[in-house]
Chains A and B, each alone.
Chain A
């Protein structure tokens, strides 16, 4: 038996799994891929088999890469198996073993070696997209199907991107805003890479909601990517590095909340303490940081400072972000907010907790599998026939937009971020 491998693979944690199978009905990939190999119980067992030398790291690769990391399995597990840790350990071992499949390698090399290390990268993604859209390149390439030749189906996603703000507008954003004095709370805004680059307007709206709720909003300058994508790809060292930078960035002042509007980032931020050994200085700093991290919906409910003036006569369904629901355990706040919007009808779809298939970069590297999951999701969505799908994470938002297109429902349905729906209802300060 390989004891080094056992240590690297959270082998001990696999014994918490009693193989009861309770997680099977919750797992999207078990449903769409139709085999136990792609179920939580199967994956945990394989990790154990590899640690015991009965299978190779190579055998583990596909089942682990095809896991969405949605953590739905952890919410139903009666013995509280730490699947997240087992999964990350497996990814790390696979990454070290350098045996990833071609599309994943391609994307990762691009993202992690060229893109992410650059300090200005967050903005540059947005700038590049803006340039692409405003220069007319978008129309041209869409018309001639140029992007279709690009690998990894980027064109499918590109077609559903919102309009980007110009670099000038982006730059004009200040580092601190306050409208009400004294402010009811001091909030630090974690802007999120994808949110800030691709869904810039939604970030602006988030800030606006906080200001109208009476809060002071600060953008710590030195903040960086949350590291979720790195960790989900087995790049442990890089993700620890990013965590440290963020902890430092948000220590400059004391805040009542560190708010974010991306379920996936929030889930990572609250898990920072797990990256450091208990008892160390970094562990306590990470814990202090994580304790203040809150999703925008929770903060708005807490502050309770808004009145909604404008009726929004729509029928919507709420698609919770897996990481918001299953990791951050935020379930009620988004619904409570939507229920306050006058004129809005909220219809719950069947199995809202079923992942949409976006899952970080999953839908790019595992396009086919992600689309199978998305198609199941869209069936449940169409079951309640909404004109809006409300989400709380950029990845989900893009994926749901794509789902609407795939259903050919672009004329009757739209995917929107929770924050944007709230802004539509003309929120005004209560006092």
Chain B
């Protein structure tokens, strides 16, 4: 056995250093569809152990890839260069609430939904609500700067972080930020680490911001016969003095897929469906609900449906959650993108998707957080069909180009990881990308922390097929 593995076994209890083939395969994937086999999986349970692993990795120049629950959609935790998968999911999960400060301290392995659950017991909430919150770790959320439907009103993960505890790539333990809402002491390292996809440090603790939980919510569903009208209605709503907590969009293909998968009574004849949630005081909600109804009628909506009971509302939101699994039934492989455009450009982007779909003869559906321009175009294909996958590659490439041309970005919340790395220069320009690289090089001089992510390797192209 390699010397460095022997040494790992001396600093981490043996049963948390996994080298069996079955174990290694079990950490070779995430929710994207690539796979890479690590040499070892290490499961640290303290920050000191984490730091020790990184020190050793620096000495032997072994790549280390942090991993939470492995729900990443862009290949972030994959050990593309072998070496170590650093499994942070077994770190002891601790949630320390400070209700009077409206803050909470957490360890990296805590499942995000559990933070909100704990906060709700005190009339508070942790606002970021990615759909995967009940499975994903807060460490993964911080590293990906994840967001969810509520992002429209409350922002994404980075808007709720006050401070972090981080093990640097060289194995030192530092604290960034603090426990106060206001803090301008020095460069904001907290924001630098959040969203850095595990390439600048391993997060071992975080202080997060909580908010008062709104006393009531109101759901509405609006249907349109044209995608363009739906897009305009969204802009109109947001400029009329109302800020809904969620505005979710589904195209006809998604609605049809959901109805086939788990019928929820969604209108399959509409070209577009928007599900809206308002939150706030019950009296305010009554007024806002009426206003939205008026706006939607003015904008030519087919129908505005207001659920009568909480159960009916829950059913609509459940249907929204079913989109992702439902469309996976169209074809076995799902290439999920989350290119984001300025809100006013959603109809244009939808038009472009239609053209791409026809040009490459691929199955494309779109849904997502329309209120903030974060759409999820998904290409449904079969990864065993090499010829089809080559067409998919081209289609995806063109989708990125379309989003950028419309003034948007490659990724709203799923991260760059391995898949989107080849397109970074397109969005950032040569110098912009180089400035980012310089930050990475000064933080991680030996290049051992999560290599192969974010930055394209020489000549790297989007590859979705395996010959």
> Which residues of A come within 8 Å of B, CB atoms?
15-16, 18-22, 24-25, 34-37, 39, 42, 45-46, 49, 54-56, 59-60, 62-63, 78-80
Question: CB-defined interface of B299-335 with A at 8 Å, one 1/0 digit per residue?
Answer: 0000000000000000000000110110011001010
Give the chain B neighbours of A60 by CB distance below 8 A. 22
* CB-based contact B69/A21 at 8 Å: yes
Q: Which residues of B contact A63 (CB under 8 A)?
A: 22
Q: Contacts of A62 on B, CB cut-off 8 Å? A: 22
CA distance A35 to B33 in the complex (A): 20
- Do B71 and A20 have beta carbons less than 8 Å apart? yes
Please tell me if the beta carbons of A15 and B22 are within 8 angstroms of each other in the complex: no
Binding site secondary structure of chain A: loop
Q: How far is the CB of A6 from chain B (nearest CB, A)?
A: 12
CB pair A45–B20 under 8 Å, yes or no, is: no
Residue of A16, A20, A34 touching B135 (CB-CB under 8 A): A20
Point out which of A15, A19, A35 has the most chain B C-beta atoms below 10 A from its C-beta. A35
Give the complex CA separation of A25 and B135 in angstroms: 7
- Chain A residue numbers with a CB within 8 Å of B410 are none
A34 to B42, CA, bound (A): 12
Docked-complex contact B31 and A55, CB < 8 angstroms: no
Residue of B nearest to A80 (CB): B325
- The answer to whether B135 and A36 have CB atoms under 8 Å apart is no
Q: Which of B22, B90, B321, B328 contacts A37 (CB 8 A)?
A: B22
Whether the pair B328, A79 counts as a contact (CB closer than 8 A) is yes
The answer for the CA separation of A54 and B35 in the assembled complex, in Å, is 12
Pair A24/B135 contact, Cβ less than 8 Å: yes
CB atoms of A46 and B69 under 8 A apart? no
Q: Which residue of B lies closest to A43 (CB)?
A: B26
Chain B residues whose CB sits within 8 angstroms of the CB of A21 once the complex forms: 31, 69-71, 132, 135-136
Cα distance, A60 to B135, chains bound together (Å): 25
Contacts of B21 in A (CB 8 A): 55-56, 59
Contacts of B28 in A (CB 8 A): 45
On chain B, the residues within 8 Å of A24 by CB distance are 69, 135
Is B43 interfacial (CB 8 A cutoff)?
Answer: yes
B25 touches A49 (CB 8 A): yes
Contact A16 B332 (CB under 8 A): yes
Interface residues of B (CB under 8 A from A): 18, 20-23, 25-31, 33, 41, 43, 69-71, 87, 90, 111, 132, 134-136, 321-322, 324-325, 328-329, 332, 334
Given contacts A21-B71, A78-B322, contact A55 B25 (CB under 8 A): yes
Q: Is the CB of A35 within 8 A of B18?
A: yes
Report yes or no: A46 in contact with B90, Cβ–Cβ below 8 A.
no
Verify B328–A35 contact, CB threshold 8 A: no
DSSP class of B's interface residues: helix, strand, loop or mixed? loop
Compute how far the CA of A63 lies from the CA of B30 in the bound complex, rounded to whole angstroms: 19
Known pairs A20-B71, A24-B69, A46-B25 / 8 extra A-B pairs, C-beta < 8 Å: A15-B332, A20-B135, A21-B135, A36-B87, A45-B26, A55-B25, A60-B22, A79-B328
Query: CA separation between A54 and B28, bound complex, in Å?
Result: 12
Q: Give the complex CA separation of A34 and B88 in angstroms.
A: 11
Q: Please, which residues of chain B bring their CB within 8 A of the CB of A42? A: 25-26
Chain B residues whose CB sits within 8 angstroms of the CB of A54 once the complex forms: 25
CB-defined contacts of B132 to chain A, threshold 8 Å: 20-22
Task: Decide: B27 and A18 in contact? CB cutoff 8 A.
Answer: no
B87 proximity list for chain A (CB < 8 A): 35-36
Q: List 13 A-B contacts (CB under 8 A).
A: A20-B324, A21-B70, A21-B136, A34-B90, A35-B87, A35-B90, A36-B23, A45-B26, A45-B28, A60-B22, A78-B322, A79-B328, A79-B329
CA distance A19 to B32 in the complex (A): 8
**Distance in Å: Cβ of A187 to nearest Cβ of chain B:** 34
Please determine whether A45 and B25 come into contact, CB atoms closer than 8 angstroms.
Answer: yes
Contact A78 B325 (CB under 8 A): yes
Once bound together, how far apart are the Cα atoms of A24 and B30, in whole Å? Answer: 13
Q: Nearest A residue to B67 by beta-carbon distance?
A: A36
Give min CB distance, A89 to chain B, whole Å. Answer: 17
A369 vs chain B, min Cβ distance (A) = 14
User: Closest A-chain residue to B15, C-beta based?
Assistant: A34
Q: Which chain B residues lie closer than 8 Å to A19 at the CB level?
A: 29-31, 33, 70
B274 → chain A closest CB, angstroms: 22
Q: Which residues of A contact B41 (CB under 8 A)?
A: 35
Instruction: Tell whether A20 pairs with B26 under 8 Å between CB atoms, given A15-B332, A34-B90, A55-B21.
Output: no
User: In the complex, what residue of chain A is closest to B71 when comparing beta carbons?
Assistant: A21
Query: With A and B bound together, what is the CA distance between A269 and B326 in angstroms?
Result: 30
The listed residue (B22, B135, B322, B329) touching A46 by CB distance below 8 A is B22
A21, A36, A55, A56, most chain B CB atoms within 10 A: A36
Complex CA gap A54/B21 in Å reads 9
Q: Are B31 and A36 in contact (CB under 8 A)?
A: no
Contacts of B69 in A (CB 8 A): 21, 24
B23 & A35 in contact (Cβ 8 Å cutoff): yes
Alpha-carbon gap, A419 to B227, bound state (A) = 58
Known: A24-B135, A25-B135, A34-B90. A18 touches B325 (CB 8 A): yes
A19–B410 Cα distance when bound, in Å, is 23
Pairwise interchain contact B328-A36, C-beta atoms closer than 8 A: no
List chain B residues, Cβ under 8 A from A78. Answer: 321-322, 324-325
A-chain residues with CB within 8 Å of residue B321 when the two chains form the complex: 78
> In whole angstroms, how far apart are the Cα atoms of A21 and B31 in the complex?
8
**B-chain residues with CB within 8 Å of residue A59 when the two chains form the complex:** 20-22, 25
Cβ-defined partner of B334 (8 Å) among A18, A37, A39, A46: A18
Known A-B contacts A25-B134, A34-B43; A18 and B328 likewise in contact (beta carbons under 8 Å): yes
C-alpha gap A25/B69 in the complex (Å): 10
- List of B residues within 8 angstroms of A80 by Cβ: 325
Which residue from chain B places its CB closest to the CB of A37 in the assembled complex? B26
Q: Which 4 pairs across A and B sit closest by C-beta, in order of nearness?
A: A78-B325, A42-B26, A36-B26, A37-B26
Chain A, Cβ-Cβ closest to B261:
A80
Query: Which residue, of A49, A60, A63, has the highest number of chain B Cβ atoms within 10 A?
Result: A49
What residues of A have a CB within 8 angstroms of the CB of B26 in the complex? Answer: 35-37, 39, 42, 45-46
Interface contact A37-B23, CB-CB below 8 Å: yes
A39: B residues at CB distance < 8 A: 26
> What's the nearest-Cβ distance from chain A to residue B101, in Å?
28
State how many angstroms separate the Cβ of A66 from the closest Cβ of chain B. 11
* Nearest B-chain residue to A23, judged by Cβ: B135
In the complex, chain A residues whose CB is within 8 Å of the CB of B27: 36
Complex interface: chain A residues within 8 A of B33 (CB): 19
Known: A16-B332, A78-B322, A79-B329. A22 touches B23 (CB 8 A): no
Report Cα–Cα, A24/B68, bound state, in Å: 12
Q: From residue B252, how far is it (CB to closest CB) to chain A in Å? A: 21
CA distance A39 to B29 in the complex (A): 13
Closest to A61 in B: B22
- Decide if B334 touches A22 in the complex (CB within 8 Å): no
B25 and A20: CB pair below 8 A?
no
Residue of A nearest to B329 (CB): A79
Q: Which among B29, B90, B322, B334 is the interface contact of A45 at CB below 8 angstroms? A: B29
Residues of B within 8 A of A37 (CB): 18, 20, 22-23, 25-26
A24 to B109, CA, bound (A): 13
Which of B20, B22, B111 has most chain A Cβ within 10 Å?
Answer: B22
- What's the nearest-Cβ distance from chain A to residue B117, in Å? 12
Q: Which residues of A contact B31 (CB under 8 A)?
A: 18-21
What separation, in Å, do the CA atoms of A79 and B333 have in the docked complex?
A: 12
A22: B residues at CB distance < 8 A: 132, 134-135
